[in-house]
Amino acid sequence: MTSAATEPLRQASASQQADSGGLAHRGKWGAERLRRTMGLAAGVATHLLFGFTVWHLFYFLKGRVPAESVAPSRGPLLVDGLLALQFAVPHSILLHPATRRRLRPWIASPFYGLFFCAATCLSLLLTIACWRPCDVAIWSLDGPAGAAMSWAFGLSWVALFYSLHLSGLGYQTGLTPWLAWVRRQPPPPREFREQGWYRWFRHPIYLSFLGLIWFTPHMTLDRAVLTGIWTIYIFVGSWLKDRRLEFYNGASYFEYESRVPGYPLLTFGPLGRRRVPSENLAE
What local confidence, expressed as pLDDT, does residue 113 receive? Answer: 93
Whether 103 is in a domain gets the answer yes
pLDDT band at 109 (very low <50, low <70, confident <90, very high): confident
Of 20-24, 59-63, 235-239, minimum mean pLDDT range: 20-24
Instruction: Quote the number of domains for the chain.
Output: 1
- The reply to whether 65 falls in a domain is no
177 is a domain residue: yes
Band of pLDDT at residue 278, cut at 50, 70 and 90? low
pLDDT confidence bin for 4, thresholds 50/70/90: low
The model carries a pTM of 0.82
Q: Is residue 4 part of a domain?
A: no
Q: Please name the residues in contact with 116: beta carbons below 8 A apart, sequence gap of 6 or more.
A: 94, 95, 174
Rounded Cα distance between 265 and 74, Å, is 37
Distance between first and last Cα of the chain:
77
81 found inside a domain: yes
Q: How confident is the model at residue 191 (pLDDT cuts 50, 70, 90)?
A: confident
Print the domain residue range for 274: 73-187+196-281
Distances in Å between the Cα of 254 and the Cα atoms of 141, 156, 246 are 43, 28, 6
**Mean pLDDT along residues 39-50:** 95
Strand runs (DSSP E) across 124-230, as ranges? 137-140, 218-220
Is 206 a domain residue?
yes
* Greatest Cα-to-Cα distance within the chain, rounded to the nearest angstrom: 106
Q: Are 111 and 174 in contact (CB under 8 A)?
A: yes
Question: Mean pLDDT for the chain?
Answer: 86
Which helix (H) or strand (E) is 45 found in, with range? helix 3-62
Three-class SS state of 138: strand
pLDDT score of 17: 55
Q: Evaluate whether residue 166 is within a structural domain.
A: yes
Q: What is the pLDDT of residue 280?
A: 56
Average pLDDT of the segment spanning 213-218: 95
Lowest-confidence pick of 30-34, 41-45, 174-178: 30-34
More confident residue, 185 or 71: 185
pLDDT digits 0-9 by tens, 114-164? 999 999 999 999 999 999 988 888 998 999 999 999 999 999 999 999 999
- Sign of CA pseudo-dihedral 223, 154, 113, 261: negative
Q: Does residue 129 belong to any structural domain of this protein?
A: yes
